[in-house]
């Protein structure tokens, strides 16, 4: 079966067991996409030891818009219970690189 991803608009063949039904009432809402970047992040640290489970302890997450520029929304991601910036934690843990220029995104390069 083929699915279309609404984030990039690409399609992919997937196994039926990997597809889940969603609440039909969601069809009432328009698909809203916003180009966004993590505020203050230049990219992934070259020595990063990224683990797919890294963010699991933090879910669900709170997102705050920090600014808008160059047709993008700059966001920070926060732990819902203690308010800790997950972006700052990822920078401190050398998973992400801090941006040296304001208003830039890894996707700009």
- Domain extents in the chain: 2-108
* CA distances for 43 relative to 68, 89, 95, angstroms: 19, 14, 9
pLDDT of 102 strictly over 70: no
pLDDT of 108 strictly over 70: no
Q: For 70-82, what is each residue's pLDDT tens digit?
A: 778 889 988 888 8
Least confident of 38-42, 60-64, 104-108: 104-108
The second-level CATH assignment, the architecture, of 2-108 is: Beta Barrel (2.40)
């Amino acid at each position: 079966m083929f699915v279309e991803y609404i984030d990039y608009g690409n399609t992919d063949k997937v196994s039926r067991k990997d597809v889940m039904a969603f609440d039909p009432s969601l069809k009432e809402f328009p698909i809203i996409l916003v180009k966004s970047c993590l505020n203050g992040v230049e990219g992934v640290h070259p020595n990063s030891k990224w683990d797919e489970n890294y963010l699991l302890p933090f879910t669900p997450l709170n997102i705050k818009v920090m600014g808008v520029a160059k047709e993008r929304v700059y966001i920070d991601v926060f732990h819902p219970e203690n308010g800790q910036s997950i972006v700052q934690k990822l920078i401190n843990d050398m998973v992400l690189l801090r941006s040296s220029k304001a208003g830039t995104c890894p996707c700009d390069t």
